[in-house]
Amino acid sequence: MSKRPLFHFTAERNWINDPNGLSYFNGEYHMFYQHNPENCYWGNMTWGHAKSENLFDWQHLPHALHPDSEKLGDIDGCFSGSGLVKDEELYLFYTGVEMTTKQLNQFGNTITVGPDDLIPTQILAKTKDGINFEKIEKINIEIPEECSKAHVRDPKVWSKDGKWYLAIGAKDNEGGKILIYKSNDMKSWNLFSKIKEKEMGYMWECPDLFKVGGKDLLMFSPEGVSNDGQKSIAGYYLGNFNYEDGSFEHEEFQRVDHGFEYYAPQSFEDAKGRRILIGWLVGHAPLDGEEWNGMMTIPREVTLKDGKVSTLPVEELKNFRKEKIAEFSEISKAKNCYDIELRLKSLDNFSMTLFKSEKDGLKLNYFKERGSFVLDREGVINGFEPLSTFGILRECKISENKEMNLRVIVDRCVAEIYINDGEKVMSAVVNPRDSQIEIEVSGDILSKEIYILKK
């Protein structure tokens, strides 16, 4: 049975990482992504491109940006960046890199010798037709003294009140930080704000700053925040960004997703005014017999509910609920492509096993004494070492043990579990055997709706 997911975006073949340039342009959703056209491991960073009308049926398009400009400085890679629609054109802002030292790694991909042997340049490109891209010019931003010149990347651009803002990931001697620049014309940029926090990793990648329910959410991916075999995670600060003086007051750091592979999310606003978030689920190596490595999450809509950030699958996913079944015992028909909604009276004695065979599967248990869910994928790794190395267990604290709901999306080799209207999410990549297609749930269930997802 193929393990390629149907609802999680994958490249036709080979390695992918971060979503880039997410945008709604000329009536269609555009997704760009970090792609290695050559093989299933990181390298040769090129912008892959796909478009969609419904965020789930993606049409693969020719690559948008190739690492081919010595003049602009992207000869060794077109790294991450963002998209912005203006005057009927789609502008792309990205980081071009040149490597000052080079070596081949075990997969035959070119990497630097030392971690700092990189010259990043921020670059502007654009398209009118959404297919052909023109690289325009270097974006000049002044990097403050204290910041590393080698690690400045992933520009995210947005507009507000007739001005343009560009946030970029950076680091100084103390750790990661975000630099925010401001422009009147999208051409000349002045440093406007610096945001950092102690003990939050050594480099902040993929920044994003947007409004949700009247608050400002600063999302980023700090590297080196040690966590169960996964050193870098994605998170956010919710607070108030002062557009007058660039200051930012915020609450505690929160993870975007409490599962395993989640990293480098990016958001954008669509024509309906929704804030849509797509993250990358790290691919470690291709699963048995597959020719792709890495996937994007289900696109999630971000809202603020009672002061808390909620992310839930965009409503379009419901259009793929093609058959409703009454009992969990019929789930094998779904062949591991389903969408479940559960209401629970309390979390006491709750347990659920997805991808279940007679004896094992992906287990979600609630531990009352710890006040948390624990997701355990040991039973669904089946000898695929990289998943064990990245971690077998993840824990997610739940503030209260009251009536609550769960939404569970299973998509062949991946599960996303949304807890309490999307207040928390846990995602996991798994490597199921063909026989692991059952489900078992126990606990105080008030109601359940089970749908087979089909394309």
User: 411 pairs with which residues across the strands?
Assistant: 337
Among 76, 154, 257, 339, binds ligand FRU (CB under 6 A): 154
CB of 279 to ligand FRU, least distance (A): 11
Please state the closest distance from residue 187 (CB atom) to ligand FRU, in A.
23
**228-257: contacts with ligand FRU (CB under 6 A):** none
Smaller CB distance to ligand FRU: residue 153 or 356?
153
Choice between 168 and 450, CB closer to ligand FRU: 168
CB of 195 to ligand FRU, least distance (A): 17
Residue 371 CB, nearest approach to ligand FRU (Å): 32
Task: Determine contact, residues 348/444, Cβ cutoff 8 Å.
Answer: yes
Given the complex with ligand FRU, which of 20 and 436 has the nearer CB atom? 20
Pick the closer one to ligand FRU by CB: 153 or 300.
153
Cβ proximity to ligand FRU, 2 vs 227, nearer residue: 227
Each residue 2-31 as x (binds ligand FRU by CB under 6 A) or -, in order, gives ---------------xx-------------
Nearest to 338 by CA among 364, 320, 311, 351: 320
Residue nearer to ligand FRU on the CB measure, 95 or 267 = 95
Report the phi/psi class of residue 36: left, alpha or beta, with left for phi > 0 and alpha for psi in -120 to 50. beta
Near ligand FRU by CB under 6 A: residue from 8, 30, 49, 153: 153
Element of type H or E holding 93: strand 89-99
Q: What Rg value do the Cα atoms of the chain yield, rounded?
A: 22
Query: According to CB under 6 A, which one of 90, 264, 298, 340 is a site residue for ligand FRU?
Result: 264
Min. distance of Cβ 346 from ligand FRU in angstroms? 39
Residues 111 and 118 sit within 8 Å (Cβ to Cβ)? no
The verdict on 34 binding ligand FRU (CB under 6 A) reads: yes
List, edge to edge, every strand of the sheet that includes 362-367: 393-397, 372-376, 362-367, 351-356, 438-442
Work out how close the CB of 259 gets to ligand FRU at its nearest, in angstroms, rounded to a whole number: 17
Least CB distance to ligand FRU at residue 67 (A): 11
Per rule CB under 6 A, is residue 80 in the interface with ligand FRU? yes
Task: Find the shortest distance in angstroms from Cβ 217 to ligand FRU.
Answer: 19
CA distances from 174 to 147, 170, 203, 230, 234 (A): 10, 11, 10, 21, 19
Give 385-392 contacts, CB < 8 A, sequence gap 24+: 386/284, 386/285, 387/260, 387/284, 387/429, 387/430, 387/431, 389/229, 389/284, 390/229, 390/230, 390/260, 390/261, 390/282, 390/284, 391/228, 391/229, 391/230, 391/260
Question: Where do the H-state alpha helices sit in 364-441?
Answer: 385-390
Nearer Cβ to ligand FRU (7/33): 33
Nearer to ligand FRU, 16 or 396 (CB): 16
User: Tokens 């609450």 sit at which residue?
Assistant: 251
* 3-state SS assignment for residue 315: helix
- Helices and strands in the chain: count of H runs, count of E runs: 1, 36
- 260 is written with which tokens? 């395993």
129 included as an active-site residue:
no
Q: What is the DSSP letter of 87?
A: T
| CA end-to-end span of the chain | 16
Nearest to 391 by CA among 284, 253, 278: 284
Could you say which of 11, 55, 65, 206 contacts ligand FRU (CB under 6 A)? 206
Give the count of residues interacting with ligand FRU (CB under 6 A): 13
Cite the active site residues. Answer: 18
List contacts with ligand FRU (CB under 6 A): 17-18, 34, 45, 79-80, 95, 153-154, 205-206, 263-264
